Amino acid sequence: MFFEIDFNSTEAIYMQLRNQIIIGIAQNMIQDGESLPSVRQLADELGVNMHTVNKAYALLRSDGYLQLDRRKGAVVCVSVEEKQGHLKALNPSMRMMVAEAICKDISLSEMHQIITDMYNEFDAIQNGGNL
């Protein structure tokens, strides 16, 4: 598994890690049921504090992407059974994106195109295609 942390980014390191893991799952680079490195191992590999990795894993667990198992560690476990809860959780961040788009005079059709392109990009990667 390869994660790239930008230490100069304004985005917190734990959020960079969280987001990269979610993108890795969406792109099938990280599979459902796969164990992630231990907190200590990943912290050493990335050169970050263990609490940073632990915070990313805790967020992923609370967001429904990971299960923590004493024997297996952090295991990817994406439950699609809770779709309504996931849709509801997406609402605040999507609301903010729409507000930002409106402020920047981005039309609904342009937003649709952006989202369609992103879905197509993830679909192409999942199916082994290159961009």
**Mean pLDDT in residue range 77-104:** 84
Whole-number average pLDDT of the chain = 90
Phi, psi of 76 (to 5 degrees): -65, 125
- pLDDT number for residue 74: 92
- pLDDT higher than threshold 70 for residue 131: no
Q: What is the DSSP string of 19-79?
A: HHHHHHHHTTSS-TTPBPPPHHHHHHHHT--HHHHHHHHHHHHHTTSEEEETTTEEEE---
- pLDDT number for residue 80: 67
Place of tokens 């560690």: 73
**Mean pLDDT in residue range 100-122:** 95
Q: Which two tokens stand for residue 110?
A: 């342009």
pLDDT in tens, 8-65: 999 999 999 999 999 999 888 999 999 999 999 999 999 999 999 999 999 999 888 9
pLDDT above 70 coverage of the chain, percent: 93
Q: How confident is the model at residue 125 (pLDDT cuts 50, 70, 90)?
A: confident
Measured distance CA(60)–CA(102) in Å, rounded: 30
**Mean pLDDT in residue range 69-75:** 86
Q: Which two tokens stand for residue 89?
A: 């959780």
- pLDDT higher than threshold 60 for residue 126: yes
Per mean pLDDT, which range of 18-22, 73-77, 125-129 is the poorest?
Answer: 125-129
Helices (H), strands (E): how many in the chain? 5, 2
